[in-house]
Amino acid sequence: MKSRWTGEARRAERLPFPVVPLPVQAIYNLLVQPSPLRFLKNVNRGREIATVLLNYGFGDVLERLGLLPYLKWGRRLISRKARDATEQLTTARRIRLALQDLGPTFVKFGQVLSTRADLIPQDLIDELSLLREQVPPFAQENVDRQLEEEFGRPINELFATFDNHPLAAGSLAQVHRAVSKDGRNLVVKIRRPSVVSCVEPDVVLMLELAQLLERHVPESRVFDPVGLVKQFTRTIRREMNFRREGRAMLDFARRFEGDPRLYVPKVEQELLTESVVVMEFISGIRVDDSAAIRAAGLDPNQLARDGAEIFMRMAFEMGVFHGDPHPGNIRILPSGPICLLDYGMVGFLDDGRRELLVDLFVAIARQDVNSVIKVVMNLGEPTQQIDRILLQADVRDFLDAYYGVPLEQLHVGQLLTDFIGILSSHGLHIPGDLMVLVRAIITLEGVGRGLDPRFNIAEVLAPFVENLIRERYQPRRILERTLTDVRTLVAAAHDVPLHLGKTLKKISQDDVKVQLEHRGLDHLISEFDRSSNRIIVGMLLSSIILATALLIRAGNADSYWFALPLFILSGLLGVWLVWGILRSGRL
């Protein structure tokens, strides 16, 4: 096994064979640092991913990642006609098609990417928004077996009736209707039996691929590939945990207990596990069915306003909000309350970020460019060197474009999109939960305008921002912040003697160490190792060729049978070495 892997590694580096043993650091790098071998440790799936990327014209990326040499045979199976067809497509479309071919995990990843307008170009976002999950429902015997394993009882003891035909089937779960023993209509959401075993290896490979991208394709770092994969991993693991979703529904029901405008489906707590959630069936009107809403005698404008106010309460008062309020997840009950479905994606907004958002709103209202930039730098994380002068100019143009616009004419969705576009162009990475909030507000504005073209979410947002500003300057809040700052200072002062003592002790024992981080030397070291290996191999081959030529020249019959084959073999190895150097393009 060892020789096969090292042989593949040599072919990836386009070297004939190493003659110098790998040092300890090289072995550590091979095992720990991002490398093609680590990506291909799951050989079948890793090669499948690399082959799909090659099929859609990303061979140059695979070449830079060091993965292309592993696909020599698969590469021959790709027809020239297929390659020509993909070359006619845009890069964004090829990315979407590749994700579609790679299966449900990658489709989910593309859907998450489509929400990151701060990192992803708009043309790619438009393409990724077209991704759809196309998976068949899993067999009824799997449903029966999973329910019995989860609850220790057969399905006919759990429900009075159970519909074998699923209402919907997704990449993570499918939904069935059922009736409880006491006659209540229910929905049973069941996780796919093998979804965890499929998703977990994929996210590990995605992380390996992202690390390879950041290591070997420096220009990709502006998109933060590793950060995106980590955010996706956290998101999909949350969505696969139905116990978490059930608890979120119970939490929202408790928080809105006194607000008749929002109805949260009841959860059957005794039938709640990590892979199954049973809840009340909701047969309301879809929020995008305007005709049915009007036929029910409901006011679309009031519904739009109620929905926006409910969301603003979640985000700016409670700090936890529904992360995916698209029309398919919103129902209107006949009596008027709004019902939100699918609590698998929930966003969080802590006090610190709420305060920063207030600072941002105040700075925008005052046309204070420097304060806007200061808040943005605290909210986001730079992924590249920031040109502050250019950023100031772009922020000033942004503020001028929206200054003086009447509230009723303000499009919050467009404003947020333009603002995120500025941050993205300057390499400022916004935290995932904030992007979920921005996306949810933009989606809600679209839903509201679908109900009433005159609806303006800014009119709903403004009172919540004003309330946050008033609350900030209340004596109680000022006292709380002051006490918190004092506690922090006291704790820091308490630790100073301890840290000072440790430092002096290390100095007295000559135990002070300075850590230096070198950047950009890995490639130089790799090139040096490659060059030295080639020199040593070339010298050895030259010596063998010269020695065997002298033996042949001497005409000694006893050594002739030994010298001639060795001479021919050395010559062939020499040709192989030259061919490897020519193929690498580094003569």
Angle at 255 between CA 249 and CA 257, to 5 degrees: 95
User: How far, in Å, are 114, 116, 361, 453 from residue 130 at the CA level?
Assistant: 9, 15, 33, 25
Distance CA 424, CA 428 (A): 6
Sign of CA dihedral 348, 350, 353, 357: positive
324 has catalytic annotation: yes
Q: What residue type is assigned to position 495 of the chain? A: D
The structure tokens 């919103």 sit at 330
Buried (b) or exposed (e) across 504-526, using 16+ Cβ within 10 A? eeeeeeeeeeeeeeeeeeeeeee
Place of tokens 């003592």: 501
Structure tokens belonging to residue 409 = 């004419």
| DSSP track, 527-575 | HHHHHHHHHHHHHHHHHHHHHHHHHHHHT-HHHHHHHHHHHHHHHHHHH
**3-state DSSP call for residue 268?**
strand
Amino acid at 245: E
- Nearest-angstrom CA–CA distance, 317 and 351: 10
How far apart are alpha carbons 502 and 495 in whole angstroms? 11
C-alpha to C-alpha distance for 270 and 373, rounded to whole angstroms: 50
By the 8 A CB rule, do 253 and 246 touch? Answer: no
Tokens describing residue 322: 């529904």
Structure tokens at 52: 């799909």
- DSSP-derived pairing of the beta strands 320-322 and 428-429: unpaired
Beta bridge partners of 381: 429
Q: How far apart are CA 145 and CA 132, in angstroms?
A: 28
CA separation for the pair 429, 116 (Å, rounded): 9
CB-CB contact of 340 with 321 (8 Å): no
How many whole angstroms separate alpha carbon 516 and alpha carbon 32? 20
CA distances from 507 to 493, 510, 517, 518 (A): 22, 5, 22, 25
Active-site entry in 324, 342, 359, 394: 324
**What distance, in Å, lies between the first and last C-alpha atoms of the chain?**
32
Q: How far is CA 200 from CA 211, 234, 530, in A?
A: 17, 11, 35
543-562 burial, b at 16+ Cβ within 10 Å, e below that, comes to ebbeebeebeeeeeeeeeee
217: left (phi over 0), alpha (psi -120 to 50) or beta: beta
| Alpha helix stretches (DSSP H) within 426-556 | 432-451, 457-472, 475-508, 521-554
Residue 434 and residue 442 in contact, taking contact as beta carbons nearer than 8 Å:
no
- Which residues are known catalytic residues? 324
